[in-house]
Amino acid sequence: SICPRLKEFSDWLLKTMASGNLEAIFPAATREYAPVVEELWNTAAIQATHSRRSELGMLPSVASYFLERAADVLQPDYEPSDLDILYAEGVTTSNGLACVEFSFPQSADDDNDISDHSSLPRYQLIRAQARSLAENCKWLEMLEDVRLVIFCIALSDYDQFTLDADGTPVNKMLQSKKLFESLVMHPSFEHMDFLLILNKFDVFEDKIEQVPLSECGWFEDFQPVVSRQGNNNSRSRNINHNPSLGQLGFHYIAVKFKSLYSNLTGRKLYVSAVKALESDSVDAALKYGREILKWEEERLNFSCSEYSIYSTEASFSSH
């Protein structure tokens, strides 16, 4: 339990949130309430409740990050760090499209004739909010010349729920699966390669030790065999070819999506595990996407060369 003073504050805060006035009150009162929020978060009762957060379906996974820094975040002169911005996922001013252009630094494997940064290949990443991808979304047709579709799913969503348009609770992983299927089958993406990013691998590794993967109905047949012998260090497990439960779970989910994609298209799905808060992990995933584009270019070039050599035979082909 919590003391009467903090309980009174908590009740008031809940009523304020329910009334929709929280945003109007807190900007002007941050200095006054910041110490109270910090004190409330540090109480034994709240910490005990948070330790069972897997049972609280609507509690964001990033809650502890911001609550532990409540006093700093609620300061009038607070400026978010890069990590704060990354943790503030889902905060956006638009439900439509966002675009960023970038290039990769030159590496030893790149062509030697690239002498300056301006000559490096440029890539355009177009981000679409999942909630804006309605069934009859018209602007998907505008993306028919996109060369690679990168679809992101949080591995840790397997036991999380959200509300659909009708207010019915739906498993987030199953919701992502449904959206994935709709995009794969969309006419604009019929011949495009897909790269599936399975994000939050670090969160997933911790969660799967406490919450079984079978919490998601699609994964009910997951029955891993994990050896408990030897060193528990993840590096040692990799050296001894003894994968962790998290690694087994990732592989299982990747195969599930690969099989689904193959059944829908007859093609190969590319998959990568990512820890989005680690820049090296994100960089590796984007470079993997670049390699996929290169492979596709080489495949097309080879096909064109083959066609030019055997053009007479190819013209009579029935395939």
Q: Is 89 annotated as a binding residue?
A: yes
Q: Is 291 annotated as a binding residue?
A: no
Residue from 238, 260, 259, 236 nearest 247 by CA? 238
Do 70 and 163 share a structural domain? Answer: no
Separation of alpha carbons 26 and 20, rounded Å: 12
Do 154 and 68 share a structural domain? Answer: no
Q: Is residue 101 part of a domain?
A: no
Q: Is residue 18 part of a domain?
A: yes
Q: Is residue 151 part of a domain?
A: yes
Q: Is 201 annotated as a binding residue?
A: yes
pTM over 0.75: no
- Contacts by 160-169 with C-beta closer than 8 Å and gap 24+? 160/57, 161/57, 161/58, 169/57
pLDDT tens digits for 187-217?
A: 888 888 999 999 999 999 999 999 999 999 9
Strand pairing category for 193-199 and 270-273:
parallel
Do 189 and 261 share a structural domain? Answer: yes
Q: Is residue 43 part of a domain?
A: yes
Top-confidence residue, 80 or 313: 80
Q: What is the pLDDT of residue 102?
A: 76
Q: Is 255 annotated as a binding residue?
A: no
Name which of 102-106, 130-134, 246-250, 285-289 the model is least confident about: 130-134
pLDDT tens digits for 137-188?
A: 667 777 777 888 999 999 999 998 888 878 888 999 999 999 899 889 988 8
Q: Is 230 annotated as a binding residue?
A: no
pLDDT band at 315, cuts 50/70/90?
A: very low
Question: pLDDT at residue 81 above 80?
Answer: yes
Q: Domain containing 157: what range?
A: 133-306
Which CATH number do you get for residue 37? 1.10.400.10
Q: Is 277 annotated as a binding residue?
A: no
Give the chain's mean pLDDT.
Answer: 79
Buried b (16+ CB within 10 A) or exposed e, 194-221: bbbbbbbbbbbbebbeeebbebbebbee
Contact by Cβ (8 Å): 207, 156: yes
Do 190 and 266 share a structural domain? Answer: yes
Q: Is residue 99 part of a domain?
A: no
225 sits in the region (left: phi over 0; alpha: psi -120 to 50; else beta) called beta
Q: Is residue 102 part of a domain?
A: no
Q: Is 92 annotated as a binding residue?
A: yes
Question: pLDDT at residue 287 above 50?
Answer: yes
Number of domains in the chain: 2
Do 144 and 80 share a structural domain? Answer: no
Q: Is 222 annotated as a binding residue?
A: no
Do 137 and 69 share a structural domain? Answer: no
Q: What is the pLDDT of residue 114?
A: 47
Under DSSP, is residue 177 helix (H, G, I), strand (E, B) or coil?
helix
Q: Is 88 annotated as a binding residue?
A: yes
Q: Is residue 302 part of a domain?
A: yes
Separation of alpha carbons 132 and 153, rounded Å: 16
Do 157 and 68 share a structural domain? Answer: no
pLDDT tens digits for 215-252?
A: 999 999 999 886 665 445 554 445 446 889 999 999 99
Residue from 217, 128, 137 nearest 174 by CA? 217
